[in-house]
Amino acid sequence: MTNQHRPLLQMAEELLRKYTLRKTNCRLEVLTLLLQNKHALAHSEIEKQLENRFDRVTIYRTLHAFEEKGLAHSINDVSGAMKYALCQDACKEHEHQDNHIHFNCTSCGQTFCLNEVLVPAPTLPEGYKVHSINFSAQGLCVSCQEVT
For the chain, what is the HEC assignment?
A: CCHHHHHHHHHHHHHHHHCCCCCCHHHHHHHHHHHHCCCCEEHHHHHHHCCCCCCHHHHHHHHHHHHHHCCEEEEECCCCCEEEEECCCCCECCECCCCEEEEEECCCCCEEEEEEEECCCCCCCCCCCCCCCCEEEEECCHHHHHHC
5 vs 42, higher pLDDT = 42
The size of the chain, in residues, is 148
**Per-residue pLDDT at 21 exceeds 90:** yes
User: Which residue in 77, 139, 94, 88 sits closest to 115, CA to CA?
Assistant: 88
26 vs 132, higher pLDDT = 26
Q: Is this model's pTM higher than 0.85 or not?
A: no
- Decide: 100 and 134 in contact? Cβ < 8 Å: no
Q: pLDDT tens-digit profile of 95-124?
A: 666 678 899 999 999 999 898 888 887 889
Q: Which pLDDT score is estimated for 98? A: 66
When pLDDT is averaged across residues 40-48 and rounded to a whole number, the result is: 95
When pLDDT is averaged across residues 14-31 and rounded to a whole number, the result is: 96
2 vs 13, higher pLDDT = 13
Q: pLDDT tens-digit profile of 65-94?
A: 999 999 999 988 878 889 999 987 656 665
